[in-house]
Chains A and B, each alone.
Chain A
Amino acid sequence: MKRREFLTAAAGIGISGALAVGESPAGDKEKRPEKKTLAVESINADTPVIDAHAHLFHRSSATWKEMDRRLVEAADKLGIDKLCCSILTPKRPATAEGFRECNRWMADGVKRFPGRVLGYCYVNPTHSKEALREIRRCVEERDFIGIKLYNEHRCTDAVLYPIVELAIELRVPILHHAGHMNFFLESQPNISDGSHLSELARRYPEAMLICAHVGGGGDWEWEIKSLRNAPSVYLDTSGSVIDEGMVEMCVDVLGADRVLFACDNSMTAGRGKLAGAELSETDRRKLLGLNMQKILKKREQS
């Protein structure tokens, strides 16, 4: 089988490289850095590597542009072909204007990094009419690939139902923030976990639901087991937690077709745990990109 040593890296990583590619105004296409090869793992050359959960940076930060550029440069170094990104408001719950602003910037990010950055539309379901209008605009006019929901509501809250129904109509996935702690998380009283996503999936089995970051901090063994009997729910591998055996357990319990590679901006953690997981080549290719590619094609086929 034809194989290639996977990966590329920017030749100049430091600040000088940043200035070279960071000077174009927002809305212009960013220049791609020079490349050099860097092996992460050996995989079939035609395997797409798609990070299913990433974020561009909110523009209230003075360094947003530099950080956006660094994210794409990191993807280059780690052999990630596409980053599925959203931008969240720094303060939540988000207002309607807050999430619309994020999505405008996200659309600009898609233009600045053509072919590399894909957009999720972030909304707060509290603002139902505005959220539905925004999702339709982002998917139909801006070619966004899905919907990103955070923790403003538990995913079983009825306020989400119209959003799920619209996602089904538009044939796009919902990436839902999640985590299971064995204690009450005061900072996120409405956080969803795998059991909540399973419940939502029972109500809407045709929806494409992605349970976010199994390595995002929480009892990941609980999270995986809670999703076992929810065949329409995917689980992404992102987060800073790099516990050995985590990815293998995802595949063992859920099957390789339901697990999506992602970093959630923890780049070496996300890419490293996939490289370290003991998987067959067939399964590794599914996780790295084939599964997400299938999800993306659902919209293209509509």
Chain B
Amino acid sequence: MIDVNCYLGHFAFRQLRHNTADGLLRKMDAKGIEKAVVASAAAVTYRNAQSGNEELQREVKTHRDRLIPFAVINPGYAGWADDLKICRAEFGMSGVRLHPGWHNYRLADACCRELVNAAAKHEMPVSIPIRVEDNRQRHWLVDVPDVPLKEVTDLVKACPAATFILAAGGGFTRCALGKKQNSLPQNYYIEICRLSALLGNELGQLVDNIGPERLLFGTGMPFHYPDPAMLKLKVLDIAEADKEKIRRTNAAKLLDC
């Protein structure tokens, strides 16, 4: 399995466990997860997100065979273009992660489009967590709603050369992103950790609507237990070959790993 949605480091509003490279790798071993995309949890709330990327780089540098770092870039913050270059050229980071709500910009902002296009030039996929944690448990100091799927839809349309990973989201089948023949560029993948696989079965609907090739396994560790995402794949009533695409093959192709 390849997990495309993990974090390392501290989060400002809740103590995380298994949030070091060693801790996460132990958890991955216990669950049979071979590789994981990781991004800095601290960079979600650091003013200067690059400090989080530097921490991440130090944490993963001896584990690059299994941990694939993505750079958290805030396009509203001074020096982001330099940070992106450093993360790509010096740190060898494979992708970019955006937190528009936490970093106080919109996906429609010109600076965001500029960052996404720069990531595309570097052939770095852009991961957008629709949420980091459930907004209803928010700290009294912050109120960060989920990233609106309408804004995500506009972004994937506006930046066809970029590749997106839409993580920790739900409700895709109620908007164009999850509809069949939606006329959007096929430049986005949807990660499964918050999709229903029974009752509403949004995951099954997405397999039908956009195909198993566009879905990726992810857990949200160490914020989340990994087991719900694993269980979704187990109970999903599709061919084993299609499950394998979601579990591993799609991510291996996308991340060239």
Contact = CB atoms under 8 A, between A and B. Distances in A.
A joins B in a complex: yes
A167 interface: no
Given A74-B198, A179-B136, A244-B17, A268 B223 contact: no
B231 A271 contact: yes
A78 B228 CA distance: 11
A269 interface: yes
Contacts of A269: 228
Interface stretch (B90-98, B137-145, B155-163): B137-145
Chain A's interface: helix, strand, loop or mixed, by majority? loop
B89 interface: no
B33 interface: no
B150 interface: no
A273 B17 contact: no
A219 interface: yes
Interface in A247-272: 265-269, 271-272
B242 interface: no
A74 B235 CA distance: 9
B231 A244 contact: no
A38 interface: yes
Contacts of B222: 244
B197 to A, nearest CB: 5
Contacts of B77: none
Given A182-B139, A244-B225, A9 B235 contact: yes
A218 B235 contact: no
A292 to B, nearest CB: 21
Interface in A208-232: 217-221
A246 to B, nearest CB: 8
A214 to B, nearest CB: 11
B207 to A, nearest CB: 11
B184 interface: no
A39 B14 CA distance: 32
B134 A272 contact: no
Contacts of B224: 242-244
Interface in B202-257: 220-232, 234-235, 237
A14 interface: yes
Interface centre among A182, A244, A277 (most CB of B within 10 A): A244
Contacts of A14: 237
Contacts of A276: 225-228
Given A221-B14, A272-B225, A273-B225, A77 B235 contact: yes
Interface in A266-297: 266-269, 271-273, 275-277
B225 A217 contact: no
Nearest to A274: B227
A272 B230 contact: yes
A218 B137 contact: yes
Contacts, number: 101
Contacts of A240: 134, 194
A71 interface: yes
B168 to A, nearest CB: 10
Contacts of B143: 183
B29 to A, nearest CB: 14
A20 B69 CA distance: 48
A244 B198 contact: no
Contacts of A272: 225, 227-232
Interface string B178-204: 000000000000000110111100000
B86 interface: no
B59 interface: no
Residue from A73, A179, A182 whose CB has the most chain B CB atoms within 10 Å: A182
Interface string A157-193: 0000000000000000000000101110000000000
Interface in B7-27: 14-18
Contacts of A96: none
Contact of B198 (A12, A241, A242, A268): A268
Contact of A267 (B140, B198, B227, B237): B198
A114 interface: no
B234 A38 contact: yes
Interface string A1-27: 000000001001110000000000000
Contacts of A277: 225
Contacts of A245: 15-17
Interface string B94-134: 00000000000000000000000000000000000000011
A40 interface: yes
Contacts of B134: 217, 240-241
Given A243-B223, A244-B18, A277-B225, A217 B136 contact: yes
Enumerate the 10 nearest inter-chain pairs by beta-carbon distance, A residue then B residue, closest first: A272-B228, A276-B225, A276-B227, A217-B136, A13-B237, A74-B198, A272-B227, A275-B227, A182-B140, A272-B231
11 contacts: A13-B235, A40-B234, A78-B198, A181-B136, A240-B134, A243-B14, A243-B225, A267-B197, A267-B199, A269-B228, A277-B225
